[in-house]
Amino acid sequence: MDAYFIATILILLSALFGYINVRFLKMPNTIGLMIITIIFTISILLLSYIDPTLLDLEKSIISKINFRTLLLDEMLSFLLFAGALHTNFEQLKIQRWPVLMFSTLGVVTSTFLVGGAMFLILQLLNLEIGFIYCLLFGALISPTDPIAVLGILKKAKVPKKLETKIVGESLFNDGVGVVVFLTIYQIAKSGIANTETIDVFKLFGQEVIGGIGLGLVLGWLTYRLLKSIDDYDIEVIITLATVMGGTLLAHQFHLSAPLAMVTAGLVVGNDTVRDSAMSKRTEHYVDKFWELIDILLNAVLFVLIGMEMLVLVLESKFIIAGLIAIPVVLICRYISLLLPINFFKKKLDFVPNTNLIMTWGGLRGGISIALALGLSVDMHRDLFLVITYIVVVFSIIAQGLTVGKLVNKLKEKIGN
């Protein structure tokens, strides 16, 4: 079973499930695709009692795909560049300080709150899990997923200035979240006694500052290349080369590829660069190309999330822990947002109930599952993968389907 065969199956399933969703369910694509895939996988599991052929095929496909590598090292750069390219740069510039606080202090605070709470809860369930491993779970579940957020907020009609905060936070906090996760992962792997504090700060600084610096350089170089020619075909290819080449450079020098791609996308996508470097025709083709990449990869990603059910070890205590983790993660996110919101609300025009909407609209997605899949067996991978999957499924389906209703309910207080 080669890569072309697997890619063909995934595209066929994405097209089929996407058609079913648009034709019959009429849900946001990210939600509809995942629901249909989960139902499809459960149906195959039930059918396997009669004929295991389809189940064996699906298991074979999943076993051949390294979801963590596929998402974090390959797909994520494309998705983040596409998301940043279409983000309102002027609004983001106005909201840059709260976005920075949400995506750094918010993620770190949430990591420790979730880690501490889950440590106590797992002890009560007679699951003896070390605190450092609970912190790892806190790190992987704290970042909101821009892939899920961007797709769903478009239909939720959230006020623009609030949408900018949520989207901006999601674009940056997954890169920060991955770095926090990798830092704690290194400590858990090497042992606290063998980890120097300076090494932790060095890793964090190199990944974050280096990633943003690389993104600025890539964005500037792309701008100069686009400005020097007027050929929409080649200009589209240049943006593609920026993402692919930039991702390779980031991995080579151990920098954060997600942060590099977000930064490069924001530079290339801002109105000043667009007006001075792209003709209207080029701008149209660049936008349409990246919209198509975004839609295609999103579809494949959420089909894959549904299929990942097959790797779960469904023990009763794991499921109970996952269900308890849902409110824990939401409460910890709410608390982690309090300080930045209260600090900036007098300086910036925050809409009423910002904290509530950001908490419920901060969806978890494939990034959390990818990081959970990267845990080793001694880090209690099976337990935390089940907990993560339950939180992610609830987040995308329950929160994703109701965030628009929440906004409408609060609309009189929020305003347009």
> What are the domain boundaries of the chain?
3-63, 66-414
Share of the chain above pLDDT 90, in %: 57
CATH class in words for 66-414: mainly alpha
Please enumerate in sequence order all residues whose Cβ is within 8 A of that of 29, keeping only pairs 6 or more positions apart, or say none: 18, 21, 22, 151, 295, 298, 299, 302
Average confidence (pLDDT) over 169-182: 86
Q: What would the pLDDT profile of 374-410 be if each residue is shown by its tens digit?
A: 899 999 999 999 999 999 999 999 998 888 888 778 7
Q: What would the pLDDT profile of 297-349 be if each residue is shown by its tens digit?
A: 989 999 999 999 998 998 999 999 999 999 999 999 999 999 888 888 777 66
Average confidence (pLDDT) over 135-141: 96
Looking at residue 351, what DSSP letter applies? P
Work out the pLDDT band at 196, boundaries 50, 70, 90.
Answer: low
Phi-psi region of 254 (alpha: psi -120 to 50; beta: other; left: phi over 0): left
For the full predicted model, state whether its pTM sits above 0.85. Answer: yes
What is the pLDDT of the chain when averaged over all its residues?
A: 89
Work out the pLDDT band at 35, boundaries 50, 70, 90.
Answer: very high
Q: Check: CB of residue 165 under 8 Å from CB of residue 99.
A: yes
**Alpha-carbon dihedral of residues 7, 262, 241, 207, nearest 10 degrees?**
-90
Work out the pLDDT band at 276, boundaries 50, 70, 90.
Answer: very high
pLDDT at 157: 67
